[in-house]
Amino acid sequence: MTVKFVIQHEFHTSVEQFWTEIFKSEEFNRALYIDHLRCGYELELWNPATGRRRARVWPTNTIPKALARVLGDTISFVEEGTCDEDAHRYDFRVLPSRLSERIRVNGSVVTAPLCDRTCERTVTFEIEARVFGIGHMIESFLETTTREQYDENATFINEYLAAKR
């Protein structure tokens, strides 16, 4: 069964600044992943001409024991996607380090202005785990942790932007 959900957040910046100062900024990504979340993070590819991006992340989340038996105690993932700057859109897929042929995570990020100095980011997700007996548990875990992380990240983004001004 595929789990679909949407996450929305308001940011105190214009759409253009969001894509420049947040999405395309390695300074921001390092501040978020390494300094704030204490994760491993490595940008493997960023091609502004094509919009292709690929990054590897080693999260610090605690994995439930039932999932750890299947996925292992530590897991990493690769996020790869394509950014369309004109449309203010990023389409991505997430490839886990284990069971990537059975776990599918796809999504897109779009932004829209709310007024001159604020915008809304909408992220849509589709998660499917075809793992006998625990597929639903994997999907539920991924949805819950993704929602929590995006909420925490949104707070960090607004704090980061405020500190830069």
β-pairing verdict for 118-129 and 52-58: unpaired
In which domain, by residue range, is 8 found? 2-164
Instruction: Quote the pTM value.
Output: 0.92
Rounded to an integer, what distance in angstroms lies between the CA atom of residue 162 and that of residue 157?
9
What is the number of other CB atoms lying within 10 angstroms of the CB of residue 142?
20
Tens digits of pLDDT across the chain (165 residues):
899 999 999 999 999 999 999 999 999 999 999 999 999 999 999 999 999 999 999 987 777 787 777 777 778 899 999 999 899 999 999 999 999 999 999 999 999 999 989 999 999 999 999 999 899 999 999 999 999 999 999 999 999 999 988
Burial 113-124 (b: 16+ CB within 10 A, else e): eeeeeebebebe
CATH value at residue 139: 3.30.530.20
Structural domain tally of the chain?
Answer: 1
Q: What is the residue type of 114?
A: L
